[in-house]
Structure formats: C-alpha cells, structure tokens
Structure 1
Amino acid sequence: MEDNAEFLIRSMLNLEKCKGMQGKKPTRRKVRSQLIQMHERYHSFENNSQPSVVHEKVTSLIYPPCTQPLSSLQRISLTDLVLETVHREKYLLLRTIVHPKKIVEIRTIVEDPNGDVDVLELYYQNPNRSHKDIIPNDSIIVLKEPYYKISDQGETSLRCDHPTDLIFLDANNPIVQDIKWKTGTPKTHKILIAAEYKTLGNDYFKQGKFYEAIKAYSDGISSSGISDPEISLLRLNRSQAQLKVNHFEDALNNCQDILKNDPNNVKALYRCIKALYGLENYDEALVQVKNLLKIDPKNVDAQRELNSIETRITEKRKGLYNFDQMIEQAKKSSTPCLDNASYVGPVQVAEISTERGRGLILTEDVRKGQLLLCCKAFAITYPTEYSEVNHFNAVTQVVETGDHEVNTAKVIDKIQSNPSLAPSLFQLYAGQHRIGETLPIATAEAIDSFWLSDICSMNTFGVSEDGINPLPMLPTKSEYSKNGHAAGLFLLPSLINHACYENVIRSYIGDMMIVRAAYDLTQGTELLLTYADDLLQYEERTKHLKKHKFICKCMLCELDRAEPVAIHRKRKILIDQYKNEYRSLMLEQIFQNPQKAIGDMLKMMTNIENTYNESRREKYRLGLIEPLLALGKMYGDTDDTQNAMECYKKLLKIHEFDLSTNAELLTRFLFKGVQELIMLYYGTSQRDKGQQLLKRLRQSLVVTPTGDDRIFVAENRQFFSQLFGVYL
C-alpha cells in the first residue's frame, strides 16, 4: 500500500500539472449525457467501496469564504469560469439534475439557466445528515465566489469547501422567478398558510427529519398574513427541532423572542433552559429553571432539569464527578456523548515563550494524581463515523486522515449554528502559515473551513478505546486512525505544550478528557504532554512533530542530538530488524527451536545495546525497552525464570524505577514490565518482594481517570487472586 510520503510526492507532481491551467478555460466540456454516465459509474464505486479502500482528497488551493451579501455579487454562467481560480465577487445560479453520491466528497451534477452542465463537489458538509438530504435532485442553489478546478486527468468540477458559500433557494424566490431556464422552468412549491406549514413541520418532526421541520416552520413564520400567536407557536415548534440537532443558539433566540411577550410561557422557558444547558451555560440555566418552578412548582421535567443543572455546576466548580457512572455510560455506546460539565482546576493560561506560544501553568502545588482538567470534547469523531481517507494539503504539506475530515465538518456545523462558540476556537494555533494573519470572524453566513481544518490538524487528540486504563499511551496522530481510535478536539487541553516526557497523564471516558498530575508538581510548573509516541527514535519523533514547526528541547531530544547521526541510523536499522523478526520469533520459532529463538532475540537486543555503548550513553536507552520485554517473555515461556527476571529488572532500571524512588521515565511498557516481574516473584516463592512491588506499582504508577487505582483494582482483581491468592 502506498505510504504517506509516496502519496505526497505523487500529489505534488499532479498539482504542478494542474497549475499550468490556471486562468485558462477548459479546452473541452462534457455534454450532459457523458456527465450523467460518469456519475452513475461513481455511484457504482460508492456502493462497492470496501472498508479497506483508502480514498484520496487533495487540497491545492486555500481560500477564504465569501463574506459579501449575495446582493453585492454579480451572476455569471458556467461558460464564464476559468480553471484553478476562485471567482471573487461573482456567483452561479444552478440546479441539480441528479441524485447526489458520496465517497469522500458529496458529488452531484448541476446546470445553469443556459443549460450548460458540470460537476459540483461539496466538502465539509454536516456529517450527521444524509448526503441525499443535503442536496437533493432538483435543488436550486447559489454558489458564491465559485472555485473551478481541474484534475490531473483533465476533469473539471466546481468545488465548494465552505458550506456557507452554498445557498438554497425556492423556485418562488425573486432571484429565480426572473430567470428563464433553457431546460424548463423549475417546479414551484405551493405556497401554504401558516397552519399548513406548522402541520408540515410537525409531520417532518415525527419522522425524525428535523432539518426539514426547521425549514417548514421557518417558511411558516415568513408566510404572509400570519398572526402573532401563530408566529409564537411556530417559533416554539422550531426551537424543539433545533434542540434535536444541537442548534442551541438558534433555539435560545426563538425562545427568548417568545418570552419577551409571554414571560410565563412554560414551554418556551423549558426549551430556553435546555438550550442554555446545551451551551454549557449552567449558571443562567439555573436562574431560568428556578423561574419556571416559581410559575409551575409541580413541573416534573423542570425539577429533573434542576437536579441535572446542580450536578453540572458541582462538577464545573469543584471537579467532583461520579467516574464509575461515567465509565458505565461510556461503555453503552460506540459513540458516547456523556452528560457532564467541564472542570478547570488549578491551572491558568500563560505566555510561555515566543517559540512555544501560550501554555498552561499551575497556580498552586499539586500532588500526583490530582485532577487538573476534565474537559468535554468540542467535537469528537469515532471509528464508526469515518472511512479511510488520505487528505493532502498542498499548502501545509500535511497528510490527514478520514477522522480529521469528519471532525472538521462537525466543528463547522457546530459554530455555524452556535456562532458565539467561535471566538475561543479561533484563538487556537492553526499552524505557522497562519501566524500574522487576521483572525476570521465567524458568522452563520461565513465560516472559514480551511482555517478550522488547520486548527483541527494542529490540536486534535487521539482518543484511545482503552482510554480508561491506567497509564494509557496513545498512538501518534498518523497511527490512531487506522488502529480504530477516535479523534477529539478539546479546547483548553489543546494549549498544553509538548515534551517527549510529559508531567501530566491524559485519559478518556467517552468524550471527556481527564488530565491529572503524573508527579508531585510545584506552583508555576508548565503542564506538558507528548505529541508523539515516546518510544519512537529521534528521527521518527522529529518527523511526527514537523507540522508543529518547533524543535523539542527535552532531555531525551538533547541526548539524541548529542549522538552521531551514524549511530542513529545504525540503531534504527537494528530496531527495524527486531520489529520485522519479532512476530516470527515470538509466535513460531520459540515453539520450534526455543534456544535458537532466544539466542536470535538476545543477539538483536545486544546489538541495539551496543549502539548506546558506542556513544557512551547511559540514560534513556529506549530502544531496548521492547526487546527486553519480548526477551523476558521468551525466557518466562521456557521456564528460565532467572533470566526473565533480569530482563524485567533491566527494563525497570531504564525507567529509573525501584522500590524506593518514583519512576523518572513513564512509558506504557513500564507498567507491563512491573506486572511481569510481580508474577515471577510470586511464582518463585519470593512473595514479599512481589507484594512490595505490587504496592509500589499501585502507589507510584497507577493514575487513572478516577484519580486512584480503582480501575486497576477492578481490572486485575480476578487475575491476581486466581494466580497468587492476592486480593487487591
């Protein structure tokens, strides 16, 4: 399979070919029948697409959304378009002529009033809606400031990257009514009265078609001859549909409009409370729910909301959570969305340096395991919600995957319907190429998808499926997608800067990120998380950090840089050899010829160790960790307990961990090595040593989302009690 580097090189070559067409008109245009035939082939590919297929998307041009009103733009036709160009201050009036298809982008065919046709590709559309509902056949649309592109195969298409550049019109709209279409006048919809729009909206709502219900209610509000009571009723119904799709600000605005004239409207108050709750404005929600209970003291729903709001306020202010309940809730769904508030502990935002920008520092001394942050994801995408996609951004030179694409679309939809959330989001780092640019002002009419994509690229965390386990070591951004991990954007934790060896531990329960101190830390200490797998060799770590445009100056990186490059290369070759032969040695040869298998593994480990001896490096010999763990298991499987113990003791020494001191180095394999050594102690009648090490394990290594070792106890109780009679 093609790797990211090969995909990047091929994409760059293709882009150079396309750039040569910039500003030119296409030499040929496909006729309607050809485009429809091609579209049907795309439909076949859509239906036959396998989960293992990796799709591709290339972004060759980054451009801002249209910020001007439609009235200030000039209409043009498809024949006026030139290639690889964004047509500023222009718009296209189009009509879809086929049902849409989707693999990566939503693809359809459009015609203009002159009867000319072309392909339209839509990106970053709401992933929670079916593409068939987003742009149905026979839709009349306006595409503001259209971008016209050509592929390396010479195929042309319109590309819409900003959902706000797309406007849907009814055939009754004055813009459409004055236009003559070569292929026939668009079908007009019967104009209904307010009561009929209400009935239509209610029917859609019952079917779960909430977006269609919102439109029907909106059409009713805009209808002529409508009375004030009818407007209030339609607004009330619309707010309920908006709550269903998390359009909290829209719902809040509807309810507040009703309450201006009818302050005791119980339904409006209740939905106002739900909207405030959804926006995490719990204090104002508390005020409103108390108002509602004054009006209607026996309102059961309001009392239930009061209890929920008070619980959220306790979580938010004190960081007191029912973690056991949260874990149980998260396990019930493949796409968990927990009902919990975010908590910010003794941390504050601070300017760290010119190079590192902002970060988080402690406002007081904290103990190991203390809760520092418990944050809900601004947006999260789970493995069941995306397909494998390689997305190459020619401007940033970064290759992203399918989770990034979907999560960016979720972020766009969230701030389009809740624009008050945008400012804190746009304050996040969006890449070196954005420094110095004016921050965009997001409105419901203009949202910069590319800027948000850059923010997601730089700030998204990999959320592991085993995130509730002790000391979870997350794969790197390039790995967690294909390994079935989720991608989450967490706003405040995104400000935590990188160090290869972190001083805080992050873990996850559903869409909640929990950050706790990994050690006792003093006031003013900067919180640090690793952005890359700490067991990667220096060149690989540097490659993973490349898009962040900084040089890590932690002790590990300084030690690595002090070694000759030739040593690095030699060590990498040896580690790659170990990785290539590991499976064969562990799963096959150990059973066929155990002594030879152990000898081969020992030789590989010794060769890696010698590279450290050559450079006289004693500290952080990370390349030995995995081979030591593997060799220890091989010795254990062949009943060579003494050598197995020596392997695990050596692994602990690399981490500078013993019974009297805390580990200086925390990796995911330290936990495993300690457990293996405990088992060997119990198996060789060295029970006292085993108990001491088990106690030390629980005291100094176990930090889980609950802040103690309850998860460790629950997950290991049966294992230890069965083998050793130890009850944790």
Structure 2
Amino acid sequence: MQLLLNQKKALRDAQTRIGQGIENRKSRDELTIQFRFRLMMSRQVRGGLNLRTAFIPPAYSPSFRSILDLHKVMIKDLLLETHHREKYIMLRSITPPDRMTAVMAIVEDENGDAIMLQLYYQEEENARPAGRNDFNYQRTLSKIDRVPSCWQPRVKEFKMSAEHLRMQGNNYFNDSNYEAAIELYSRALEFASDEGEAQTLKLNRSLALLKAKNFDTVLAALEPMVCVPEPVEKALYRKAQALYNLQKFEECCEVLTTLRSEYPKNVEANKELLRATKRVEEQKSGIYRFKQFYVETAKLRLPHLDHATHTGSVAVRGAGFQGRGLFTTKAIKAGELLLCEKAFAHAHIAENAQQASDLDNDLTLLINVERDSMTMGSQSELIRMIFQKIQKSPSFAPAIMNLHHGSYNSVGFGTVDSKPVIDTFYIERVIALNCFGCPLSSRLTHLRAMESQAIKGTNEKQFHSCGVWPLASYINHSCNSNARRAFIGDMMIVRATRDLAPDTEINFWYHALIAAEKNYRQKKLKQWGFRCDCAMCRDDQTTNRKILNSRKQQRAEVLRFFKTGLKANLPKIENIIVVMESQYSQPSSKVPRLHIWDLYLRLAQAYMQRKDPTKAINSALKSFSSLGYVIEGGNPPYKIGTPMIIKQWGLFVDHSIECWGVLCSAYQLVAPDLMIQSAQYAKLSYRICVGEDETFEETYKKFS
C-alpha cells in the first residue's frame, strides 16, 4: 500500500512539471559509467526468485501515424510529462542492455546527448548485448534514408552480395537472433542472381520467420512456392508448421497429406501428420490422455503442453445484463467435460524456491494507480507475451480484442507501415478482467489441501502463475456455480458439477467461497466491476445482521470444541449446529449453507473415529445436504438392493471427495452395497475437482 501511495504522490509531483525541459542532465560518460557499474552488480546477485515492481501509467492511445509523416526531435527538445505526438527520435545504444521489468540501456542521439531508454514488453531477444543486433535496426532505418550520416559508415562496411548477406544471416540465425537474420535474408533477395538462389534465401527466411513466431508472414511468404503444380518440399513442410502453431490443425493435416503424397520419402512429414491428426481428434472428441499431461508438465521447463482445445459442448451467446456468456449446446451430466482449452498465453512462476532457482523466475508487483489496484504474480509477463504474440501474428488478435474490457475505450487494432498497432493499455485491461491465476496442476493443489488435514471451507490459494483462456473468459460468475475449472500446465479443464440441460448458462465462482461476514463476497468481486445476484448473495442481503453475527459466534464455538480432539463433546456440537440450521429461512437445496457444511463433515469424521458409523453417515449426508445436494437411499434403515441416488447436485467443494470417503468407510460396516456407490461418487467428484480421474486410484489408494 505504501508503494501505491508513493507512486501516486510521485505522479502528482510530476504533473506540476508538465512541459518543462530536462534540467541538470548527466553527461554521456556519467550515465554510461553508472549504468555499467549497476549492470555488473545486478548480474552478480541475480538468480532464483526475483521480486520486481511495475507501474501502469495513466492510459494514452498509441500512434497511428506513418514514420514518414513524423518530425524529428533531439534529446534536448524533450519535455517532461509530455507525449510528443507527431514526432520521432532516433537513438542508438551505447551500453549493453539490462533487463528487469523493462529492457534498459543508455542511448545517444546524433548530437552526442545521452539518456536512459526503457522499453517495456519486449522479447528476451531484444535484451541481448549490443553487437550484431544493432545492424538490423540501422539497416531497416536506412531504407527510408533517416540514419544520420555520422552513423552510416557502419552500414556501408557490409559487402552487398547475396551470398555474403546470406552467410551473415546464417550467423545471426545460429545465434538465435532471428529478426536480424530475417532482415539480412530479405536484403539478400535484392541481389539474388537467379531463381535457385532466390528460392534458397526465401526458404532460409521462412525458417527464421518460424523461429521468430511470425506465423502469418510465413504463410504469405511461402504461398508462391506451394500453390504451383510442383510445390517445393521445404515450403510445404514449413507451411504445415506455421498452420500447426496457429492451431489450424485440419489445414495442417491437408498440407502434410500433400507433402507425403508429393515426397513419400519425407520421414518427418509422417511424424508431423500423426501429431497433427492427434490434435484434430482432441478437438473433435474431447478425449485426452490426462496422465500424459503430467508427464509432459514434469519434463518441460515451462509447462506449455502440445495439445488442442475441445469446445464441442459449449457456445458463446448473449447473457442479458451480463453481456455474453457460455452456454451448453446439449444435455450434460455431472462430471462431463464442457471444454478443455489451451491457454492463449500462460506466464509460469515456480511454486517453490528450488524450482525458482532452476527457472530464474521473476515475480512482479503490478501497480495500477488509476484503478488503485495491486497484483502480485506474473501479470506483467503476461502483458508482454500477449503483446508480442499479436504483434508477430496479427491473426491471433481477435481472440483477445473481442474479450470484455470494461469501460476502457480502445482505439482498436490497426496497421501502420505494414506493422500492427496495438494498444497495450487495452491488453492490460483485458488481462485484469479475464486472466486466471493457476497452479501447475490442480491435482497437486488438491493433495496439499488434503494433506493439511484441515477443512478450510472452499478457500483456495492465490497463485502467482496466470494465463488467459479466451473461451473460458466468457463464463460468468455465480457463487452457486454449476461448473468447475482445473489446470494441468497451460491446459484448463472445465467440467459440469451438476446435470445441465441444453441451453443452460455455465458459471463458476471468480473468487473461492468461504463462510465470511456480510458483503465479503461482493467486496472480492468489486475488481470485476459487478455485484453478484445469486440466491446465496440475496439471502445474505435479506438476513438480519444479528442472525449473521450469531452464526459467526456459534461457528467459532463449534471450532473451539473440535480443537479438543477426541475429548470433543460431539452431542453438544451437534446441538449447536442444529440451532444454526434453524436460523436459515431458505431450504439448503436453494441456498447452500457455507457456515455449517464443513462442521457436519468434521462431525462425521469424529464419529468414525469413535466407531459409530450410523452417526457418521447421518452427519456426512447432512454435510452434503447443507451444500444443496438432494440424496435419496443413503439414510438408515437400509434395504439391500436400494440404490443411493443423487437427485440434485449441490455446491461442489474439494472436500466432497473426503465426505464420500467417510461414507465409503461407514457403509463398509453397515451397508456394503452402498460402499461401492460411494466410491464411484468419490471418483466422479475427484474428476470434477482435478479435471481427470485417471489418477484417482493412485491418489487415494491408501483409502481404498
């Protein structure tokens, strides 16, 4: 909070100097020495988990003017707190770059005046030491004859021949400096002596474009070589790779089929066709090998999995005052897959110190002064990833630009000088309203919660890793949700938590629910700009504050009793819970009771410890009833052959699995046929909770 207040004060102070010139500017040598010293010191202490601070300044629109229409200024002309519209400044780096939140370097203009430059949301490639990389930018600018004459000799040193430029491009490519390689291959094409040499350069450039993730440009560049009677082998292969990375898997399969037909000896074509075919099958069927997800996640430095998105059971539609929502397109059973979506972008932060030392992660405190908000995690990195992804392949833009962005008025998405113009503030706003915090896997999170042996309502850990899943972003909030999200790497798995009819709006909670004071949930939802109007929230608003305070006190009293362990007075506890129940005016089948469901579960566990299965069963079923479940056939007295049926699924919580476990143990003693059903419901609940049930027996083998 102090950081936020300090930044707001700094901005207010800065506003008093709008339009003033820069005073007491340090000399070129002073800036360079200080910067190099700080760079040396910072690199000595780096490693592990680095905490950084990033500030989102007041929003302003990007420029849509061509560089040819701009007027040149120098460092001495710059004014404080001023956006220099219709101007450009030409600078060159005189130090190696340093990267924290921004890429930083000391730069100079042609007059020799120096200043520190900070570039935000840049790729790691743009933070490499100065050297070959600067040729790329000088060469680009020289096309419009704007490189100052005092800087041009460095450009003229290069021998202008196709072969020499190609070799230089190869050197850049081998150094993973793909942008510079692309520039040199493009320049070499101007000197190509014949069609054979030109084709080689085009293929080299297409590979560099692929490595630089410029997939749209790859497709356009390769078109003349694939849309001919005898398509070029490498051109077909690289077109297929570009389509795969654009997640156009069916088109990718078509190209690979052509490649295999035209060039049957191409072994890689067969491998890639098999891989692309698997993605098409995932898209259409929604059948995944989830155990393989965990294997891939463990192997990868960043948990970005090679799988496709399945959305066969859902569609985006209008949702009244909530704008747009996600709806079922067919009848869905509890536990059934609604969607499995690969993240548009996913920023991963290690969850422990050991991982952090291996991955050299950066944890950022992102401060937005205009909205008085602070977010700890990887949102700053997510802005960079999305910005760069759209900039490199503009066909990705609609997936992000169509998402909810609140009241922010964006200038939209356009192109100037053949380059996309992206409103970074728009992306930041979309991320703020649509990103999901996520664990490395929901299964690991679930295991930790169970190992703690403490029931903590449905409160979930706040995760530093985050991502944007565009389709899942259309799912609106409800406290009494009918769907549950789970994560494995950058894949989000959404399953129904109850039976859903066709054309039902899907919803899940944006902030995990706990038994809390009045308006607690509304305060937590404030950052998304709406108030929840579900049955639970309406009941909170209409319930007398004295009753709410009474529940809070009674709950605290019950928790104190439980702390005494085996000596706890269970009849006394049960009586207090019954009194709490009597204070609810709405049936639990309509309004789940967050204050008591977990108390009944603890009571069930305590009765099982005391070898009283009948009371354990009654308490466990009351726990489910408090969450809104309607279950028939499970209460004593038991009739052999009478099944236990869930007539209505209630609010889903992680500890549902644990509750079924209690019932399974108790029924084993008094109604063995119901034990099997309880185990099946436990497995189904596990599938909802962690996204899959392939690891259920492995996870819960000690309870079998």
TM range (shorter): 0.7 to 0.9
Structure 2 distance, partners of 1:315, 1:22, is 56
Confirm or deny: 8 A CA contact 1:431 1:547 kept in the other structure. Answer: no
The equivalent residue for 2:24 is: 28
Instruction: Give 1:412 shift.
Output: 1.4
Instruction: Give 1:262 shift.
Output: 7.6
> 1:171 and 1:357, CA in 2 relative to 1: closer, same or farther beyond 3 A?
closer
Structure 2 distance, partners of 1:92, 1:378, is 34
Instruction: Give 1:646 shift.
Output: 7.3
The equivalent residue for 2:476 is: 497
Please, which moves more after superposition, 94-103 or 670-679?
670-679
Code of the residue aligned with 1:371 in structure 2: it is L
The equivalent residue for 1:82 is: 79
Match of residue 412, structure 2, among 439, 458, 462: 439
Structure 1 distance, partners of 2:97, 2:550, is 53
Match of residue 653, structure 1, among 611, 625, 630: 625
The equivalent residue for 2:682 is: 697
Code of the residue aligned with 2:394 in structure 1: it is P
Confirm or deny: 8 A CA contact 1:46 1:101 kept in the other structure. Answer: no
The equivalent residue for 2:237 is: 270
* Partner SS for 1:500: coil
Instruction: Give 1:611 shift.
Output: 7.7
Confirm or deny: 8 A CA contact 1:96 1:139 kept in the other structure. Answer: no
User: 1:547 aligned to 2:520?
Assistant: no
Code of the residue aligned with 2:655 in structure 1: it is F
Structure 2 distance, partners of 1:609, 1:73, is 75
* Partner SS for 1:668: coil
Instruction: Give 1:242 shift.
Output: 2.4
Match of residue 467, structure 2, among 488, 491, 498: 488
Code of the residue aligned with 1:550 in structure 2: it is F
Code of the residue aligned with 2:72 in structure 1: it is R
Confirm or deny: 8 A CA contact 1:504 1:529 kept in the other structure. Answer: yes
* Partner SS for 1:516: strand
TM-score normalized by the length of structure 2: 0.82
Alignment of 1:555-574 (within 5 A): 555-564=535-544
Q: CA RMSD in A?
A: 4.1
> 1:226 and 1:174, CA in 2 relative to 1: closer, same or farther beyond 3 A?
farther
Deviations 1:445-497 (A, max 9, x none): 42222211211221112232233579899999995334xxx322112121111
Structure 1 distance, partners of 2:21, 2:616, is 71
Deviations 1:147-173 (A, max 9, x none): xxxxxxxxxxxxxxxxxxxx6656855
The equivalent residue for 1:228 is: 195
Match of residue 215, structure 1, among 167, 183, 192: 183
Structure 2 distance, partners of 1:609, 1:195, is 86
Which ranges in structure 2 are unaligned for 5 or more consecutive residues?
A: 351-358, 450-455, 635-644
Confirm or deny: 8 A CA contact 1:8 1:392 kept in the other structure. Answer: yes
The equivalent residue for 2:323 is: 357
Code of the residue aligned with 1:66 in structure 2: it is S
Code of the residue aligned with 2:199 in structure 1: it is S
User: 1:720 aligned to 2:703?
Assistant: yes
Instruction: Give 1:131 shift.
Output: 5.1
Code of the residue aligned with 1:219 in structure 2: it is R
Code of the residue aligned with 1:460 in structure 2: it is C
* Partner SS for 1:372: strand
Instruction: Give 1:8 shift.
Output: 3.5
> 1:446 and 1:476, CA in 2 relative to 1: closer, same or farther beyond 3 A?
farther
Confirm or deny: 8 A CA contact 1:99 1:108 kept in the other structure. Answer: yes
Confirm or deny: 8 A CA contact 2:138 2:155 kept in the other structure. Answer: no
Deviations 1:630-670 (A, max 9, x none): 67778878999998777655533322444443431111222
Instruction: Give 1:578 shift.
Output: 10
User: 1:368 aligned to 2:334?
Assistant: yes
Confirm or deny: 8 A CA contact 2:74 2:89 kept in the other structure. Answer: yes
Confirm or deny: 8 A CA contact 2:661 2:703 kept in the other structure. Answer: no
Instruction: Give 1:339 shift.
Output: 2.6
Confirm or deny: 8 A CA contact 2:56 2:368 kept in the other structure. Answer: yes
The equivalent residue for 2:594 is: 622
Deviations 1:581-605 (A, max 9, x none): 99xx99xxx7xx8578x68x99999
User: 1:530 aligned to 2:517?
Assistant: no
Alignment of 1:553-702 (within 5 A): 553-564=533-544, 619=588, 620-625=592-597, 648=620, 650-657=622-629, 658=631, 659=634, 660-661=645-646, 662-679=648-665, 690-698=675-683, 702=687
Aligned residues: 667
Structure 2 distance, partners of 1:602, 1:84, is 69
Structure 2 distance, partners of 1:59, 1:271, is 39
> 1:374 and 1:616, CA in 2 relative to 1: closer, same or farther beyond 3 A?
closer
Code of the residue aligned with 2:130 in structure 1: it is P
> 1:629 and 1:44, CA in 2 relative to 1: closer, same or farther beyond 3 A?
farther
The equivalent residue for 2:637 is: none
> 1:400 and 1:185, CA in 2 relative to 1: closer, same or farther beyond 3 A?
farther
> 1:36 and 1:643, CA in 2 relative to 1: closer, same or farther beyond 3 A?
farther
Structure 2 distance, partners of 1:440, 1:685, is 66
Confirm or deny: 8 A CA contact 2:338 2:496 kept in the other structure. Answer: yes
Instruction: Give 1:38 shift.
Output: 3.9
> 1:67 and 1:43, CA in 2 relative to 1: closer, same or farther beyond 3 A?
farther
The equivalent residue for 1:158 is: none
Confirm or deny: 8 A CA contact 1:171 1:188 kept in the other structure. Answer: no
Structure 2 distance, partners of 1:493, 1:120, is 38
Instruction: Give 1:328 shift.
Output: 3.3
Code of the residue aligned with 1:11 in structure 2: it is Q
Structure 2 distance, partners of 1:427, 1:96, is 37
The equivalent residue for 1:303 is: 270
The equivalent residue for 2:41 is: 44
Structure 2 distance, partners of 1:186, 1:476, is 63
Instruction: Give 1:78 shift.
Output: 1.2
Deviations 1:7-62 (A, max 9, x none): 43443333222222222223432233443344233652454357566321112221
The equivalent residue for 2:453 is: none
Code of the residue aligned with 1:97 in structure 2: it is I
% identical aligned pairs: 27
Structure 1 distance, partners of 2:694, 2:536, is 32
Structure 2 distance, partners of 1:103, 1:494, is 30
Which ranges in structure 1 are unaligned for 5 or more consecutive residues?
A: 143-166, 722-728
> 1:478 and 1:546, CA in 2 relative to 1: closer, same or farther beyond 3 A?
farther
* Partner SS for 1:344: coil
Code of the residue aligned with 1:363 in structure 2: it is T
Confirm or deny: 8 A CA contact 1:469 1:712 kept in the other structure. Answer: no
> 1:522 and 1:594, CA in 2 relative to 1: closer, same or farther beyond 3 A?
closer
* Partner SS for 1:44: helix
Match of residue 417, structure 1, among 392, 398, 405: 392
Instruction: Give 1:204 shift.
Output: 3.7
Confirm or deny: 8 A CA contact 1:312 1:340 kept in the other structure. Answer: yes
> 1:94 and 1:402, CA in 2 relative to 1: closer, same or farther beyond 3 A?
farther
User: 1:347 aligned to 2:322?
Assistant: no
Instruction: Give 1:679 shift.
Output: 4.2
Instruction: Give 1:571 shift.
Output: 7.0
* Partner SS for 2:63: coil
Instruction: Give 1:90 shift.
Output: 0.5
Code of the residue aligned with 1:111 in structure 2: it is E
The equivalent residue for 2:96 is: 99
Deviations 1:81-122 (A, max 9, x none): 112221111011111121111222222111111222211111
The equivalent residue for 2:452 is: none
Structure 1 distance, partners of 2:131, 2:615, is 70
Structure 1 distance, partners of 2:276, 2:578, is 57
Structure 2 distance, partners of 1:94, 1:341, is 43
> 1:615 and 1:476, CA in 2 relative to 1: closer, same or farther beyond 3 A?
closer
Instruction: Give 1:74 shift.
Output: 0.5
Code of the residue aligned with 2:498 in structure 1: it is Y
Match of residue 429, structure 1, among 387, 391, 404: 404
Structure 2 distance, partners of 1:21, 1:268, is 56
